Each structure stands twice: as C-alpha cells, then as structure tokens.
Amino acid sequence: MFSYRHAFHAGNHADVLKHFVQIQLLQYLNQKDVAYSYIDTHAGAGVYALDSAQATKNAEFDTGIGPLWDRTDLPAPLAEYVNLVKAMNPSGKMRYYPGSPYCAEQVAREMDRIRLFELHPADVRLLDENFRKLEAHQAAQGHRPTTRGKRVIVNKADGFLGVRALLPPPSRRALVLCDPPYEDKQDYKKVIDMLGDALKRFPTGMYAIWYPVLQRIEARNFSEKLKHLPAGSWLNVTLTVSTPGPDGFGLHSSGMFILNPPYTLEPVLKQVMPYLVQALGRDKGAAFTLESGDAATPRKAPCRLPSPGRAASQAVKVRCACLGHVRHRAGRAAPERRPGGRLADVRRVARNHKDVAIFAISR
C-alpha cells in the first residue's frame, strides 16, 4: 500500500505537465477577489531533493524540468512555472523541486485555504515538517497572517475520503487536485467514485485529475469514464515524450483531465503544448493531444500534433485540422505574455536565504 514514493520521479515530464496546469488553474482563481479552497488528495512530501539517492536513481528530472532549466525562449505561461521552481533554488543550481502543495502555497493568496491529504507515514511527516519550517521562516521574515484560521492544514488521511468533508467549501470556489500513484488498479475506480460523489456535493467545483497513459485496460478506459461524469464541461490534455518500448515498462505519457475548466486554459495549452513536445520529446513518438467537450455539445476531435524532430533551430509548421490553427514550433519568436492572472511573488521565501535550511527533504 505504501510502496510508492514520488521522490523517485520528482521533476519528470509528468510533473511538468501537472504543475504547469495546476498553476494555470490557480492563477485563474486568483483573478476574482473572493477566497477559494485548494484541496490536494495525494500531497506527497511537498518538496523533493533532486540530488537525493531516490531522485538520482533514474534521474527522471532529466526528462522534465532539466531540459527547461536554461531555456531562454520559454512561452510566458510556461516561464511562470519554471520561475517558481527556480525561486526555491536561489543558488541557480537545480537542487530542489516543488510538489503540488508548495506550488499551491506560492500561487494562492493569503485569504485562500490549502488542505493537504497524505497517507504515507514518511511523506506526511515530511510534508508537515516542510510547512512548519516554511511558516517559521515566513514569521522570522516579519510576515504576519492577515486572516483568521490556519491557511495550510496537513491531514494524515485518505484523500479519497477526506475530500467529502470539505465540499462544498464556504466560498463555493475550489480546486481539487487528485493524482494518486495508480500502482493499485483500484485507484482508477476510486477516482471515478470520488468525483461522482464530489460533483453531487459541489457540481460547480474545478477538479484536476492527473493520470498515466499506460497499456493496462484500466488506464485505456479511464479518460472515457471521466468524460461521462456529470460535470458542466471537461478538458483533456496529454503529453507523450517518447515511444513506449515493447515491454511496456516506464512512463512515456501522462494526462491532465479537468472538470469544469476555465475558458482561459485551452488557449494557453494550444500555445505551450507544442513547445513542450519540442523541448521534452525524445523521439518521433513525442506528441500531445488536446480535446474538450461538455454535456450540451458534441466532443471535439482530439488535437494530435507529432514531434517536430530534434532540429531545434528549424521552425516547423503543423496544421491541426480539428482546431483550425497553425503552430510554429522550435522557433525563437519572443513569447507573448498572457493577459489575466498574475503569479504570486514566489521569491518571497527563497530571497536572501539558503534554501537547504528551509525544507525537510526525503532522501
């Protein structure tokens, strides 16, 4: 039950997709001057050391955050995610990687509430310790809470069950992130059951589900089951970085499925996903898909764009018939900044402070 440790996979291509989308969703919620709740059903340790024995065993970060670290041509929305990671590494060396709880803490505002669930005994201890140290550091820097109540609460509990007590939130605004390890095949069913119950309690909530794209039957049918949940609308995006081997082992592709997504998300994904394919793709199997729909209209055909190859200096035009747009990939055009939400000052914790003293890292 507790065999999965995310420290072995921190910063990989799946994390890039997940945390980039997570930040976009939180930024959208930030645009309205009303508090919201962020609920993380499988929070993990919160922060990971990329130089630890666990992370360096397979060095999966070399398939994810690594290739983006020194890029100077990042699209503006993607640069916001990369800058958040860099902010916790003030030395400039890629040493620490933030999990979804830390990303949420940095982007959410003082009035927003963060509720974290983790069942693994070692990870929940690290998660709690990380946030205690973070709060102590903020207090030492003179930060004082402006709202009553504890902003971040860590729960040693099953997130599949714990989310029920938090829905609907008092403000009727929330993002629920669900990303179980899926090592247990029952996780697929638990996600569907949890979402079915959550939508009854809070049908207008925003729900983001990360999932691996695998050959097993449960994984192949998963996104189709998500599409049939009684949400107002949905969006499904996948990122594939390489062709799966004949043995089927390894994670080559993953997806983010969002129920009740904001209208701002799809245009941003159309801009950023071709770039991620070019930057993280490892062979001709690299590609992304993007599709969306709702209960009232037919589903859009999925947008599938293959990798443009490894020649980063040559711009490649790819026309996507289903969405009617043209993408120039691997070019050096200056990125345009997306209007709307503003990323929080992610340097407020790391500035003028040695990052090693802040976090209790799993090693």
Q: What's the average pLDDT block by block, 10 residues per block, for the chain (363 residues)?
A: 62 96 99 98 91 79 93 98 95 93 96 95 91 79 65 95 97 97 92 98 98 87 95 97 82 96 98 98 96 70 55 34 35 40 38 38 45
Domain 6-357 sits in CATH at: 3.40.50.150
DSSP state of 8: G
- Measured CA to CA, the distance from residue 262 to residue 86 in angstroms comes to 27
Q: Which pTM value belongs to this model? A: 0.81
Please list, in sequence order, all residues whose beta carbon lies within 8 angstroms of the beta carbon of residue 297, skipping any fewer than 6 positions away: none
230's tokens: 């009684």
Cα 105 to chain centroid, rounded? 13
Residue ranges of the binding site for S-adenosyl-L-methionine: 19, 42, 100, 118, 158-159, 179
Gyration radius (Cα) of the chain, Å: 19
Catalytic residues: 179
Give the pLDDT confidence score for residue 335 in this predicted structure: 41
Cα separations (Å) of 307 from 20, 300, 303? 20, 21, 13
Residue 221's CB: how many other CB atoms inside 10 A?
11
pLDDT (0 to 100) of residue 310? 42
